[in-house]
Homo-oligomer: A and B are copies of this chain.
Amino acid sequence: MNYSQMSKDELLAEKTALEAKYNDYKAQGLSLNMARGKPGAEQLAISKPMLDVVNSATNCTVDGIDCLNYGTLDGIPSVKKMFADVLGVTPDEVFVGGNSSLNLMFDTITCFMTTGVPGGTPWGKQGNIKFLCPVPGYDRHFGITEYYGIEMITVPMTSTGPDMDVVEKLVSEDASIKGIWCVPKYSNPTGVTFSDETVRRFAALKPAAPDFRIMWDNAYVIHDVTDNPDNLLSLMDECKKNGTQDMPIMFTSTSKITFPGAGVSAFACSENNMKHLKKRYNFQTIGFDKINMLRHALYLKDSKGLVDYMQKHKAMLAPKFACVLKYLDSEVKDTGTAKWENPNGGYFVSVDVMDGTAKEVVRLCKEAGVVLTGAGATFPYGKDPKDSNIRIAPSFPCVEELEKAMQIFCVCVRLAAVNKLLA
């Protein structure tokens, strides 16, 4: 029954029942974690054979490049090709980095802060500048812009991506808005994939700032968890049609394909941006780890190999997502105390609990031994104005643990709502 239709007595009875359940869970002294988007142990295990493909007998010279020695700033050709195909760009538009795409994003923002975009004034010398942040979003994106003192303006996420009416209006009116953070496919945390219309409207943006950039973090580009995978238009193709190919800087990695601790990352961008960023990287390093690139190339082969490989992850992640959604559907839906998306991929289920109860839900869960991402983490400065969004990361626990964690989560969502309604 929907809580909003309950009488006070009914709510009091519900509270008593929920508290009894909650105390039962609490007494079990559990230790469960749904906080971070970390692959589970069985996901890591499937990539361990990759550790065998480069060994002492391997010829480490490929395409005339000795992967053991110095050199080759932008990565070995086979890995550039693989990422190009996945991102919908050409190999020349790809730069392969180290194990962290977050680091490439940090480097890119740092480059623009200190030396500007190609031909532009350094962002750091333009006074107060701003970034658009679709919310809920990824805390580590917001962390980078916060670190550099860039003012963050929230834009609501919809079921087709950021609210493009808001984005277009803000970007066209305010030249101090220098960029926007996006996770265009299976967005962190909502799981939404930007619609074709959204991608086309991004490509057609007419920013007041000539040095406006779209930080297009395609972290979950092939990370399906259902048999109905979403499709994302190539932003670069659309931009080329509009002559706006200097706007996007695209990122991805194999962190959630091979190993988070030792994957390979890449960015892709236009020739202008590439020349500018490569100039910086040429001062920054002689080149990233080519043996690890070779390891990935030999193990995954190409973009088709990469996509096929994701089936193994899907097989492990699908039951976990199903588990989360099963409990939300059976335990929460009828109470009307929360809303969520049913994502076809990615690493998260984003739940909007009753306004003003997210922190309380996280607190109740923690006391009962279930660690969640802190409430507010999905908003700039950690401040969720409605105190309602909670990001569930189902990948790390096993299904058995997840079952228990979700039972507790659902009780906490309802208990916090009842208490709020009774207050």
Chain A residues with CB under 8 Å of chain B are 36, 38-39, 41, 44, 47-52, 54-56, 58, 60, 66-71, 98-100, 102-103, 106-107, 110, 113-114, 124, 140, 143-144, 147-148, 255, 259-262, 280, 283-292
Given contacts A114-B113, A280-B147, A288-B99, contact A262 B67 (CB under 8 A): yes
Contact of A99 among B48, B261, B289 (CB under 8 A): B289
Write the nearest CB–CB distance from A70 to chain B, whole angstroms.
Answer: 4
Residues of B within 8 A of A290 (CB): 261-262
Determine the chain B residues whose CB is within 8 A of the CB of A106 once the complex forms: 283-285
Which of chain B's residues has its CB closest to A48's CB? B56
> Contact at A288–B67, with CB atoms within 8 Å?
no
Q: Which B residues are in CB contact (< 8 Å) with A148?
A: 114
Top 5 A-B pairs, shortest CB-CB distance? A262-B291, A70-B260, A48-B56, A106-B284, A103-B285
A98-B288 contact in complex given A38-B70, A114-B114, C-beta closer than 8 Å: yes
The 8 Å CB contact of A68, one of B36, B102, B262, B291, is B262
Would you call B144 and A39 a contact (CB within 8 A)? no
- Taken together, the copies of this chain in the complex come to 2
Contact residues in B for A288 (Cβ distance below 8 Å):
98-100
> A103-B285, A283-B144, A285-B106 known; A56 and B52 CB under 8 Å?
yes
Decide yes or no: A70 and B289 within 8 Å by CB, A56-B52, A143-B283, A147-B280 being known contacts.
Answer: no
Known interface pairs A52-B56, A54-B51. Does A261 touch B67 (Cβ–Cβ under 8 Å)?
yes
Give, as a whole number of angstroms, the nearest-CB distance from A160 to chain B: 30
Give Cα A60 to B262, complex, Å: 12
* Shortest distance between the CB of A401 and any CB in chain B (Å): 16
- CB-CB < 8 A to A66: which residues of B? 41, 44, 261
Q: Which residue of B lies closest to A71 (CB)?
A: B261
Contacts of A113 in B (CB 8 A): 114
What residues of B have a CB within 8 angstroms of the CB of A107 in the complex?
A: 284
| 7 A-B pairs with C-beta separation under 8 A | A48-B56, A48-B60, A50-B56, A51-B291, A98-B98, A106-B285, A292-B292
State the CA gap A289–B66 with chains docked (Å). 20
Asked whether, in the complex, the Cβ of A260 is within 8 Å of the Cβ of B283, the reply is: no
- Verify A284–B51 contact, CB threshold 8 A: no
- Residue from A69, A98, A110, A144 whose CB has the most chain B CB atoms within 10 Å: A69
Given A99-B289, A114-B124, A289-B289: A69 and B283 interface contact (C-beta under 8 Å): no
Closest to A65 in B: B261
Evaluate contact between A261 and B289: CB separation under 8 angstroms.
yes
How close is A404's CB to chain B, nearest CB, in angstroms? 22
Whole-angstrom distance between the Cβ of A53 and the nearest chain B Cβ? 10
Please pick, from B69, B71, B99, the residue contacting A98 in the complex, using a CB distance under 8 A: B99
Expressed in whole angstroms, the minimum distance between the Cβ of A47 and any Cβ of chain B is: 8
